[in-house]
């Protein structure tokens, strides 16, 4: 062995080993070292229930059909973000629900499924948005499901039951959340609440601007508190909103994100904002590929809105992730897989909308004609008869958000034979998920983390 070469190599190796992981990362060709500093603002983005297959299919659809890569994946291509895999387990299971997952982010500790920031013995863990509110920052949450749903609530409140949404609506008012937007009119309106409380009046007394549709947002007063409740229940799926005039005055997630940022960005102490694409999860529960892809792409447009602000601002930490996987969809090998997948571009509506339009008086021909109109799929008679059996009460289907017992699983199997997309289940999964971070504090992100780690990363990045 050449002794001089060996010594030279040893010195080089010792030098490399003395470097921090961040410095080693920055030595890789084409990768810039993240900006190190204190984050004045934090924007935490959650595509609820997004399996890796969902992220992949949305990017594939965007490239094949829209002619451009997704904004999230472009952040990887352009090497703008730190990236990690995250373990999403709860205190009670390797497979979390949204309440426990959001509590991991919000409270910094794993709790049992179904509760919000509450320990096994009833102890309350202070939610992170309350910590930031106390530190003088403005706080906000926007979502495509009910504003009182588990994911936004996990950043803001304590509750022994995630389904206590009427009470969570009151907790938000007590907290003084600065911007709150989403669905859930039934938890604010005196006509729909069981206790007949008029929560809108409560918020008005606390000097909130109240908005009920996209047009109303044009009259927003800068800097004042905002309550935007744009539907009963969750907001419509993106693909239905794009094709049905009845939903045209519903804001997109990107529009709500933009309004929220504009309302809080000039606050001297900064702001924190959670943005949730909640109906990605609901689409996965229904094995509804068109709903899933289009709502993931709507979330992706919100990513662009946030990144456009953060890159210009320079003082904003952006975290982009999901709380858990759901149904683990993916494309299936075959000679016509590409053409089959691309056929999803012909789908006009969600499976929910299509299946809700069928009723027991439909003939076999009626079903075949309607399915062709909605998805450009040609059913055979046996498939049409099988679908009709659900409407005649011969068969039933369960499911978390399947209140009308629609045949979501059967229909997704019919679609699978034409679009080459399969699903492992109709529920959450325990697989590791993607995390991307940009801006001051992103250098703190390690390659593999637990969901609770993001709570402490936000606190450290903002130095509170």
pLDDT of the residue at 441: 97
Residues 248-272: what's their mean pLDDT? 97
Q: Has 324 been labeled as part of a binding site? A: yes
101 vs 322: CA distance, rounded Å: 9
pLDDT of the residue at 300: 98
From the CA atom positions of the chain, what is the Rg in Å?
Answer: 23
Instruction: Examine the pLDDT at 205 and tell me if it is beyond 70.
Output: yes
Q: 3-state class of 214 per DSSP? A: coil
Instruction: Examine the pLDDT at 48 and tell me if it is beyond 50.
Output: yes
Instruction: Examine the pLDDT at 454 and tell me if it is beyond 90.
Output: yes
Residues 415-429: what's their mean pLDDT? 97
Instruction: Examine the pLDDT at 5 and tell me if it is beyond 60.
Output: no
Domains of the chain, each with CATH number or no CATH? 41-329+430-462 (3.40.720.10), 338-422 (no CATH)
151 vs 155: CA distance, rounded Å: 7
Residues 212-239: what's their mean pLDDT? 96
Q: 3-state class of 149 per DSSP? A: coil
pLDDT of the residue at 41: 98
pLDDT of the residue at 223: 87
Q: 3-state class of 156 per DSSP? A: coil
305 vs 258: CA distance, rounded Å: 7
Q: Has 276 been labeled as part of a binding site? A: yes
- Residue 451 token pair: 């969901």
Instruction: Examine the pLDDT at 404 and tell me if it is beyond 90.
Output: no
Pairing of strands 433-438, 82-87: antiparallel
Q: Has 285 been labeled as part of a binding site? A: yes
- For residue 329, the 8-state DSSP code is -
The crossing angle, in degrees rounded to 10, of helices 408-419 and 289-313 is: 80
Over residues 428-437, the pLDDT tens digits come to 999 999 999 9
- Tell me the residue length of the chain: 464
Confidence of residue 421 (pLDDT cuts 50, 70, 90): very high
- Residue 130 token pair: 């309350």
The residue with greater pLDDT, 13 or 424, is 424
- Start-to-end Cα distance in the chain: 55
Q: Has 323 been labeled as part of a binding site? A: yes
Active-site residue among 47, 98, 102, 420?
Answer: 98
- For residue 65, the 8-state DSSP code is I
- 286, 403 in Cβ contact below 8 A? no
Is the pTM here over 0.95, yes or no?
A: no
pLDDT of the residue at 36: 62
Instruction: Examine the pLDDT at 323 and tell me if it is beyond 90.
Output: yes
- Residue 145 token pair: 């499901």
Query: What average pLDDT is seen over the chain?
Result: 92
pLDDT of the residue at 464: 84
SS3 content of the chain, % helix, strand, coil (to 5): 45, 15, 40
pLDDT of the residue at 6: 43
Over residues 334-359, the pLDDT tens digits come to 999 999 999 999 999 999 999 999 99
Residues 7-13: what's their mean pLDDT? 44
Over residues 93-132, the pLDDT tens digits come to 999 999 999 999 999 999 999 999 999 899 999 999 999 9
98 catalytic, yes or no? yes
Q: 3-state class of 327 per DSSP? A: coil
Cα maximum dimension of the chain: 89
- For residue 107, the 8-state DSSP code is H
Over residues 13-22, the pLDDT tens digits come to 444 444 444 4
- Residue 77 token pair: 């291509």
Sign of CA dihedral 55, 61, 64, 66: negative
CA angle 340, 341, 343 (to 5 degrees): 65
- For residue 188, the 8-state DSSP code is T
> Which residues, listed in sequence order, are joined to residue 422 by a DSSP beta bridge?
330
The residue among 172, 79, 77 whose CA lies nearest residue 129 is 172
Q: Has 151 been labeled as part of a binding site? A: yes
Q: Has 359 been labeled as part of a binding site? A: no
Over residues 75-91, the pLDDT tens digits come to 999 999 999 999 999 99
- Residue 114 token pair: 């179904």
Residues 22-26: what's their mean pLDDT? 43
Over residues 261-288, the pLDDT tens digits come to 999 999 999 999 999 999 999 999 999 9
Confidence of residue 394 (pLDDT cuts 50, 70, 90): low
pLDDT of the residue at 395: 67
Q: Has 281 been labeled as part of a binding site? A: yes
CB count within 10 Å of CB 12 equals 10
């Amino acid at each position: 062995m050449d002794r001089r070469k060996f010594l030279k190599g040893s010195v080089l190796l010792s030098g490399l080993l003395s470097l921090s992981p961040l410095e080693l990362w920055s030595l890789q060709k084409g990768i810039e070292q993240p900006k190190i500093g204190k984050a004045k603002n934090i924007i935490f983005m959650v595509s609820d229930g997004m399996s890796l297959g969902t992220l992949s299919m949305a990017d594939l659809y965007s490239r094949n059909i829209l002619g451009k890569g997704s904004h999230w994946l472009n952040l990887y291509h352009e090497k703008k973000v730190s990236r990690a895999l995250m373990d999403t387990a709860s205190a009670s299971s390797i497979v979390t629900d949204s309440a426990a997952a959001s509590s991991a982010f919000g409270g910094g500790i794993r709790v049992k499924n179904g509760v919000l920031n509450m320990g096994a013995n009833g102890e309350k863990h202070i939610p992170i948005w309350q910590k930031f509110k106390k530190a003088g920052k403005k706080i906000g949450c926007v979502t495509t499901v009910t504003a009182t749903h588990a994911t936004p609530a996990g950043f803001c409140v304590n509750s022994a039951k995630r389904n206590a949404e009427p009470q969570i609506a009151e907790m938000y008012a007590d907290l003084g959340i600065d911007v709150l937007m989403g669905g859930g009119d039934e938890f604010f309106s005196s006509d729909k609440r069981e206790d007949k409380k008029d929560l809108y009046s409560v918020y008005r007394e606390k000097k909130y601007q109240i908005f009920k549709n996209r047009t109303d947002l044009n009259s927003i007063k800068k800097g004042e508190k905002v309550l935007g409740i744009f539907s009963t229940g969750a907001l419509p799926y993106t693909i239905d909103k794009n094709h049905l005039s009845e939903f045209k005055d519903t804001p997109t997630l990107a529009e709500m994100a933009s309004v929220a940022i504009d309302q809080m960005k000039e606050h001297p102490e900064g702001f924190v904002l959670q943005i949730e694409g909640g109906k990605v999860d609901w689409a996965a529960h229904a094995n509804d590929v068109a709903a899933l892809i289009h709502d993931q792409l709507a979330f992706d447009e919100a990513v662009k809105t946030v990144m456009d602000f953060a890159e210009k601002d320079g003082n904003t930490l952006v975290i982009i992730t999901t709380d858990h996987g759901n149904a683990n969809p993916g494309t299936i090998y075959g000679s016509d897989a590409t053409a089959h997948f691309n056929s999803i571009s012909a789908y006009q509506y969600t499976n929910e909308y299509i299946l809700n339009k069928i009723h027991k008086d439909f003939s076999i021909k009626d079903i075949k004609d309607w399915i062709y109109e909605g998805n450009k799929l040609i059913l055979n008679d046996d498939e049409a008869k099988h679908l009709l059996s659900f409407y005649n009460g011969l068969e039933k289907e369960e499911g978390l958000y399947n209140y009308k017992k629609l045949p979501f699983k059967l229909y997704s199997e019919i679609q699978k034979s034409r679009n080459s997309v399969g699903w492992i289940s109709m529920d959450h999964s325990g697989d590791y998920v993607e995390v991307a971070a940009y801006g001051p504090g992103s250098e703190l992100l390690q390659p593999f983390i637990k969901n609770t780690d993001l709570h402490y990363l936000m606190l450290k990045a903002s130095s509170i």
